Amino acid sequence: MTDQDNTNNSFFEKLQNVLRLVVLDDETLKEVKSFRFSLLNLYFGFISLLFLTALLSISLIIITPIKRFIPGYGDVNDHPEFMEMSKKVRNLEQEITVQEEYINGFKRMLNNEKPKIDFNQIESITDPSEGSIDQPNSDLSTNFSASNGLEHIFFTAPVNGSISSSYEPHNDHYGVDILAPKESPIKAILGGVVINSSWNLESGNTISIQHQNNLISVFKHNSVLLKKEGDVVDAGEVVAIIGNSGTLSDGPHLHFEMWYDGKSLNPNNYFNFE
């Protein structure tokens, strides 16, 4: 047997030697507790503890959300929280776009400028190439010839009834008043985006819709508004209920206005309300 073998055997025997750890009372030197162990058992115990610690750490990383804090582990775009935040950001961006268009639309109307809206920015808007806007929605739709670029558009009448007050812009009456049965639904004349849905003292519950072709429709004195700012509506979709709200109203009716390129139009040239 070589010296190397003797050394290895001596080391292994030392590992197997049983050791005893004794705990004594400091005053009486009486034995309180004793432990028997070997260095080999101590090494195995230490290695087992390291293995269990590593196994527990890996399990926590795989099972719990801790893994998202490890650089390079997984794709942050797949995290549910990130996807939810991205959705909220997109919604906020769309609301800001609509709000800006709402403000700019009325500025253009007051300044006699052309109102324009990029309908491609609004994902759910009806595509005019599909023909859904330019086609009659019901037997209430009609088409009158005009010289302002709207002669080829088919409109849906907002409501059926009799005219109580005609279009008189020289008297600051920029639309028509239509008498209709109580609770009659008010419909969008074309597809578009709601740019105003609010209440004011004179006009009561008022809703305004910006359409393609630089056209804005306004509905006043409603009892109920069914759409809010930023909503996208289709031709013929109900947007309000006829009412008598506002100080300028003396009975249930709809005050209906049309604005094109910042100028008011006579609705009687485009609709047969009866």
Sorting pLDDT into bands at 50, 70 and 90, what band is 17? confident
pLDDT at 170: 92
Q: What is the CA radius of gyration of the chain?
A: 40
Largest CA distance in the chain: 125
The residue with greater pLDDT, 87 or 97, is 87
Q: For residues 166-184, give the mean pLDDT.
A: 92
pLDDT reading at 232 higher than 60: yes
pLDDT at 196: 93
Find the CATH number of the domain harbouring 130.
2.70.70.10
Assess if residue 77 is contained within a domain: no
Q: State which of 69, 86, 101 marks the end of a domain.
A: 69
The residue with greater pLDDT, 129 or 161, is 161
pLDDT reading at 213 higher than 90: no
How many structural domains compose the chain?
Answer: 2
Q: Which of 116, 106, 87, 101 is nearest to 230 (CA)?
A: 101
Assess if residue 205 is contained within a domain: yes
Q: 248 and 135 in one domain?
A: yes
Sorting pLDDT into bands at 50, 70 and 90, what band is 129? very low
Assess if residue 62 is contained within a domain: yes
pLDDT at 24: 80
Q: Is 127 helix (H, G, I), strand (E, B) or coil?
A: coil
Q: For residues 213-234, give the mean pLDDT.
A: 93
Q: For residues 163-169, give the mean pLDDT.
A: 93
Q: Which of 182, 177, 212, 207 is nearest to 195 (CA)?
A: 207
pLDDT reading at 143 higher than 70: no
Q: 252 and 156 in one domain?
A: yes
pLDDT at 163: 93
Continuous segment of H or E residues that includes residue 187? strand 185-187
Q: 135 and 39 in one domain?
A: no
Domain containing residue 40: 3-69
% of the chain surpassing 70 pLDDT: 70
Q: For residues 139-168, give the mean pLDDT.
A: 73
Sorting pLDDT into bands at 50, 70 and 90, what band is 217? very high
Q: What is the pLDDT of residues 237-265, one digit of tens each?
A: 999 999 999 888 888 899 999 999 888 99
CB 251 within 8 A of CB 223: no
Assess if residue 110 is contained within a domain: no
Q: For residues 61-72, give the mean pLDDT.
A: 67
Whole-angstrom distance, CA of residue 158 vs CA of residue 178: 10
Q: 128 and 10 in one domain?
A: no
Assess if residue 96 is contained within a domain: no
Q: 128 and 206 in one domain?
A: yes
Assess if residue 113 is contained within a domain: no
Q: 214 and 133 in one domain?
A: yes
Q: For residues 160-180, give the mean pLDDT.
A: 93
Q: 164 and 35 in one domain?
A: no
Supply the angle between the helices 3-16 and 39-63 in degrees, to the nearest 10.
70
pTM: 0.50
Assess if residue 107 is contained within a domain: no
Poorest-confidence range of 66-80, 94-108, 131-145, 198-212?
131-145
